Amino acid sequence: MRNDELAAAQAYVRLLQATRAALVEPDEGPLYMSLLASPIAEADGALERAGLCGNESRFFDLVRSLQPSMSGRGR
C-alpha cells in the first residue's frame, strides 16, 4: 500500500469513528454533525490525492486491509 493510499484509508476510518461517536446519542446528533466537516474534508482530500475517487473497489480493499473488522465477515 502506497503512503497516499494508506493516508486515504486512515482518513476514512477516522471519519467512520467520528461519525459513530456523533451518532451514539441520536438526540444529540445534530449538535455534533458540524464536527464531522473536518474529517469529511480530510477524507475527500486524501481520496483525491491517492487517485481513489471513483475506484471504490480498490479503496475498500485498502480499508479492509487496515481494519479487517469492516469486511462484514465473522459477524
What is d(CA 14, CA 47) in angstroms, rounded to the nearest whole number?
A: 13
32-72, pLDDT tens digit by residue? 777 788 888 998 899 899 988 888 888 888 888 887 776 55
Q: For residue 73, is pLDDT > 60?
A: no
Cβ neighbours, 10 Å, residue 9: 25
Q: How confident is the model at residue 12 (pLDDT cuts 50, 70, 90)?
A: confident
Give 25 or 29, the one with higher predicted confidence.
Answer: 25
Grid cell listed for 29: 446528533
